[in-house]
């Protein structure tokens, strides 16, 4: 066999090996480069805001409820009849806060975040306000499989504890669907 024949054969084998390795690479790269996240379906997000507003309405509270995913994107929003206009933003800020800041420390409510911060020692480092963040009570983490997948914020009741009660009541109704 001539030198050229051998080189051709080696080159052909190398080409086949390279092709096989290259074909398998996208699967390996994708497995390492793709992040899978969970979020509520539109139907459950809408049920949560509807049930939150209805829970508060039973007690005479006019509220807004917002569901956000972990990116802070609104999935569902409902402004109850007569709810104050500022509650539109405040409900979102509450939901956004629990979905973003609660995640790292596994805190399940904006109240838990505020309580932790109140216990922190004084600092000389100035606090920088974060956009869309509030420490007002009235938001609950949406959990599935022990992991936070979003936030439910309620605003407009005459106290954050009542907003939180309305949100918890709505979450209790769907807990069996969250497994």
Can you give the pLDDT at residue 6? 47
pTM assigned to the model: 0.80
Stronger pLDDT, 60 or 23, i.e. the higher one: 60
Q: Is pLDDT above 60 for 158?
A: yes
Domain boundaries, the chain: 1-34, 42-178
Stronger pLDDT, 84 or 179, i.e. the higher one: 84
Q: CA distances (Å), 171 to each of 52, 59, 76, 132, 178, in order?
A: 8, 17, 14, 23, 10
Least confident range of 110-119, 120-129, 138-147, 167-176: 120-129
Query: Under CATH, domain 42-178 is a member of which superfamily?
Result: Haem-degrading domain (3.30.450.150)
Can you give the pLDDT at residue 18? 44
Mean pLDDT of 73-84: 98
d(C-alpha 93, C-alpha 151), whole Å: 10
Among 33, 36, 14, 15, which Cα is nearest to 25's? 33
């Amino acid at each position: 066999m001539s030198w050229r024949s051998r080189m051709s054969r080696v080159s052909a084998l190398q080409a086949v090996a390279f092709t096989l390795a290259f074909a398998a690479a996208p699967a390996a790269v994708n497995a390492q480069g793709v992040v899978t996240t969970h979020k509520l379906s539109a139907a459950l997000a809408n049920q949560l805001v509807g049930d939150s507003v209805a829970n508060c309405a039973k007690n005479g509270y006019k509220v807004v409820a917002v569901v956000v995913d972990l990116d802070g994107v609104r999935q569902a929003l409902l402004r109850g009849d007569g709810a104050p206009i500022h509650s539109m933003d405040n409900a979102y800020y509450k939901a956004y806060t629990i979905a973003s800041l609660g995640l790292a420390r596994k805190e399940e409510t904006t109240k838990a975040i505020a309580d932790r911060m109140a216990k922190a020692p004084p600092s000389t480092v100035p606090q920088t306000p974060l956009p869309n963040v509030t420490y007002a009570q009235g938001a609950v983490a949406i959990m599935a499989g022990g992991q936070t997948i979003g936030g439910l914020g309620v605003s407009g009741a005459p106290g954050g504890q009542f907003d939180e009660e309305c949100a918890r009541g709505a979450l209790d109704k769907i807990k069996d669907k969250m497994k």
